[in-house]
């Protein structure tokens, strides 16, 4: 899948192109931007295959931004999006792959993607390691065979997971966390050995090594890999900051959360992060449910609320919302079953009863 960013200061154009690209099934939209400066800062630290750039933008034009992006990644494909056909010749003069005229159409976008796929330079781009931390820890070569990458030992795997989680961390903190109780020299030797094993494993698979180390610190080079955790947190920030295009961003973020953070691993340092990410995920699900209700898609909202309750069956606020929706739909028998299930869970787990508003709601139903 091609990793894409979209930069356009017009919210409606941004939303339209984002929807078309998402529905194509051929790309992963890493991020969308209305501010070209933010787009450049993002690209400095994240791998990008294709940038869709509006030409006429304040502060930095699409033409100027494209030159800056090519300085970061010479092989990046640039597709300009413009309302003015006269820009086309200028676009190709600076090695743009294609240009799209507004309003963009799905057919024209597919033609641009097909052209990108056929470019010889695309086959020469160095493949990047794919890391999935939701639902476990999985390292994958992005080639056609999708080979899993295996590390030398469970400790090597834990070290790499910790580095990915911290992104940049001192050697002292690594040793205190993973080799607590070891003498300093022994802990340092263990750290250096396992860093070597990580580099060797990645290099042996023909992938770009994503570690920077010095005497004091170890850092993950974020634009040398794709990590679902990083993508999820970027989307979460964008959703919280910007209401435009939230529905599409929500879809992408929810799809990334395929299970709890490092599920199946018993790393003590990961437990707090896992709980916080689960809370973030439920926040996104709540927002998605509200958007479904605004669009009168009640069944989709109910399914989304059920996903929250699978994670936290004690959420009375969510159960209360589900009960109200079921009652409004005339599904009273199902509402009663749901209420009784809530009574059982609260009594068993907390020794309490449902809150007064929920009891009164069900009392009115039975009256």
Number of domains in the chain: 3
Residues 20 and 148 in one domain: no
Residues 216 and 159 in one domain: yes
Q: What is the structure's pLDDT at 2?
A: 85
Residues 43 and 80 in one domain: yes
Structural domain containing residue 230: 127-267
In sequence order, the 6+-apart residues with CB closer than 8 A to the CB of 215 are 171
Residues 202 and 281 in one domain: no
Residues 109 and 70 in one domain: yes
- Helix ranges, the chain (H): 11-24, 36-45, 62-72, 87-93, 106-118, 120-124, 154-166, 171-178, 184-204, 228-241, 246-256, 271-294, 298-311, 316-328, 332-349, 356-366
Residues 80 and 136 in one domain: no
Residues 223 and 116 in one domain: no
The C-alpha atoms of residue 359 and residue 283 are separated, in whole angstroms, by: 25
Whether the CB-CB separation of 225 and 47 falls below 8 Å is answered with yes
The C-alpha atoms of residue 40 and residue 24 are separated, in whole angstroms, by: 25
Question: How far is C-alpha 56 from the geometric centre of its chain's CA atoms?
Answer: 28
CB atoms within 10 A of CB 252: 21
Q: What is the pLDDT of residues 212-221, one digit of tens each?
A: 888 899 998 8
How deeply is 333 buried, as exposed, middle or buried, from its count of CB atoms within 10 A (0-12, 13-18, 19+)? Answer: exposed
Residue 312: give its domain's CATH number. 1.25.40.10
**pLDDT over 50 at 124, yes or no:** no
Greater confidence (117 vs 257) lies with 257
Q: What is the pLDDT of residues 276-308, one digit of tens each?
A: 999 999 999 999 999 999 999 999 999 999 999
- Single residue among 90, 106, 124 that ends a domain in this structure: 124
Q: Closest Cα to residue 33, out of 52, 55, 56, 20?
A: 52
Residue 239: give its domain's CATH number. 1.10.10.10
The overall average pLDDT reported for the chain is 88
Segment holding 148, helix H or strand E: none
Residue 140's φ and ψ, nearest 5 degrees, are -135, 140
Q: What is the pLDDT of residues 83-102, one digit of tens each?
A: 766 555 454 445 678 888 88
- Single residue among 267, 292, 311 that ends a domain in this structure: 267
N- to C-terminal Cα distance for the chain? 56
Residue 16: give its domain's CATH number. 3.40.50.2300
**99-108: b or e for each residue (b if 16 or more CB lie within 10 Å)?**
bbebebeeee
Q: Which two tokens stand for residue 32?
A: 């969308």
Q: What is the pLDDT of residues 257-266, one digit of tens each?
A: 999 999 999 9
Residues 35 and 115 in one domain: yes
What's the pLDDT band for 244 if we cut at 50, 70, 90?
A: low
What's the pLDDT band for 74 if we cut at 50, 70, 90?
A: confident
259 secondary structure, DSSP code:
S
- Single residue among 124, 143, 177 that ends a domain in this structure: 124
What's the pLDDT band for 123 if we cut at 50, 70, 90?
A: very low
Residues 171 and 115 in one domain: no
51-55, 184-188, 235-239 — which one is most confidently predicted on average?
Answer: 184-188
Q: What is the structure's pLDDT at 85?
A: 63
Residues 81 and 151 in one domain: no
Residues 61 and 84 in one domain: yes
Greater confidence (131 vs 120) lies with 131
Residues 147 and 91 in one domain: no
């Amino acid at each position: 899948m091609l990793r894409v960013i979209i930069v356009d200061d017009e919210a409606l154009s941004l939303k339209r192109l984002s929807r078309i690209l998402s529905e194509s099934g051929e790309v992963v939209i890493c991020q969308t931007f209305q501010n070209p400066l933010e787009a450049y800062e993002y690209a400095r630290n994240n791998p990008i295959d294709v940038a869709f750039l509006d030409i006429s933008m304040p502060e930095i034009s699409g033409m100027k931004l494209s030159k800056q992006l090519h300085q970061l990644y010479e092989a990046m494909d640039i597709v300009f999006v413009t309302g003015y056909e006269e820009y086309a010749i200028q676009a190709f003069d600076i090695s743009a792959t294609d240009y799209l005229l507004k309003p963009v159409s799905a057919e024209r976008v597919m033609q641009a993607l097909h052209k990108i796929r056929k470019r010889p330079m695309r086959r020469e781009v160095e493949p990047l390691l794919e890391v999935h931390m939701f639902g476990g820890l999985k390292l994958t070569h992005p080639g056609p065979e999708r080979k899993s990458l295996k590390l030398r030992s469970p400790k090597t795997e834990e070290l790499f997971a910790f580095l990915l989680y911290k992104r940049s961390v001192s050697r002292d903190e690594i040793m205190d966390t993973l080799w607590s109780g070891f003498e300093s020299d022994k802990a340092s030797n263990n750290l250096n050995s396992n860093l070597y094993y990580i580099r060797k494993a990645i290099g042996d698979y023909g992938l770009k090594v994503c570690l920077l180390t010095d005497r004091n610190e170890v850092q993950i080079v974020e634009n040398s890999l794709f990590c679902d955790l990083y993508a999820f947190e970027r989307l979460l920030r964008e959703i919280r900051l910007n209401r435009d295009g939230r529905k599409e961003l929500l879809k992408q973020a929810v799809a990334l959360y395929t299970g709890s953070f490092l599920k199946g691993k018993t790393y003590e340092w990961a437990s707090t992060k896992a709980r916080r990410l689960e809370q973030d995920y439920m926040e996104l699900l709540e927002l998605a449910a509200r958007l479904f209700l605004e669009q009168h898609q009640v069944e989709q909202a109910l399914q989304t609320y059920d996903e929250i309750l699978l994670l936290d069956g004690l959420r009375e606020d969510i159960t209360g919302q589900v009960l109200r929706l079921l009652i409004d739909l005339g599904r009273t028998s199902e509402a009663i079953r749901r209420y009784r299930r809530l009574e059982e869970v609260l009594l068993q787990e907390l020794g309490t009863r449902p809150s007064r508003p929920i009891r009164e709601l069900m009392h009115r139903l039975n009256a």
